[in-house]
């Protein structure tokens, strides 16, 4: 399951100044896969992948540490009214989220998405957007 973590780094005691992810890995033994991280002097946003069974535990621990956690169930949303099933999204996606089904309809394997945003830009019909 993908979790999107956001945290502040402004104050000395903010979670972003602490090795929160490493601490949760050490305490829980859950292997957390960091898929994307964007951290600057003021704030951070990290996308992690964790086994479904451990997601609640990891989420609870991170929240206790002051991190805002959002479960990314449908990271990328496809507007069926706008999509014409062309396939422009397929080859620009580094994660192979998109493919054709037998009927040449676009199939979205949203769980693979790492929110890079390439497909959103590449879609000629503005049919793709990032959740929430």
Partner 1 sequence: MEKSLDLINARIRDGTARVVTAEEMPGIVDELGEEGALAEVDVVTTGTFGAMCSSGAFFNFGHADPPIRMERVWLNDVEAYAGIAAVDAYLGATQEAESKDRPYGGAHVLEELVAGGTVELRATSHGTDCYPRRSITTQLLLEDMNQAIMVNPRNSYQRYNAASNTTDRTLNTYMGTLLPRCGNVSYSGAGTLSPLANDPGFRVIGGGVPIFLAGGEGMIVGEGTQHSAGGGFGTLMVAGDMKGMRQEFLRAAVMNGYGVTMYVGVGVPIPVLDTGIVRSTAVRDEDILTDVIDYGTPRRDRPSLAKVSYADLRSGSVEIGGETVRTSSLSSYRRARAVATELKDWIERGKMELALPTRRIDMTKRARPMRETAVTPRVRDIMNRQVISITEDEEIRVAAKRLLKDETNHLPVLDENGTLVGIITTYDVSKAVVTDGKLRQVKDIMTRKVIKTTPDEPVDVAARKLEQNNISALPVVDATNRVVGILSAIDLGKLFGGRRRQ
* Interacting residue ranges for partner 1, rule: CB under 8 A: 84-92, 99-100, 103-105, 118, 121-122, 124-126
CB of 119 to partner 1, least distance (A): 9
CB of 106 to partner 1, least distance (A): 9
* Between 58 and 76, CB nearer to partner 1: 76
Is 76 exposed, middle or buried (CB count within 10 Å of its CB: 0-12, 13-18, 19+)? buried
* Between 65 and 92, CB nearer to partner 1: 92
The strand pairing partners of 34, in sequence order, are 48
Nearest one of 118, 121, 126 to 36, comparing CA atoms: 118
CB of 81 to partner 1, least distance (A): 10
Nearest one of 70, 69, 100, 71 to 84, comparing CA atoms: 100
Give the per-residue SS3 of 48-61.
EECCHHHHHHHHHH
CB of 78 to partner 1, least distance (A): 14
* Between 19 and 100, CB nearer to partner 1: 100
* Between 29 and 104, CB nearer to partner 1: 104
């Amino acid at each position: 399951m993908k979790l999107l973590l956001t945290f502040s780094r402004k104050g000395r005691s903010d979670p972003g100044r602490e090795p929160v992810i490493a601490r949760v890995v050490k305490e829980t033994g859950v292997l957390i896969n960091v898929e994307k991280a964007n951290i600057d002097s003021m704030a951070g946003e990290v996308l992690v992948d964790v086994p479904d069974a451990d997601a609640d535990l990891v989420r609870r621990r991170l929240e206790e540490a002051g991190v805002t956690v959002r479960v990314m169930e449908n990271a990328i949303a496809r507007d069926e009214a706008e999509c014409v099933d062309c396939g422009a999204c397929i080859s620009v996606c580094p994660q192979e989220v998109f493919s054709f089904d037998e009927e040449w309809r676009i199939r979205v394997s949203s769980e693979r998405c790492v929110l890079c945003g390439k497909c959103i830009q590449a879609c000629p019909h503005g049919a793709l957007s990032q959740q929430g």
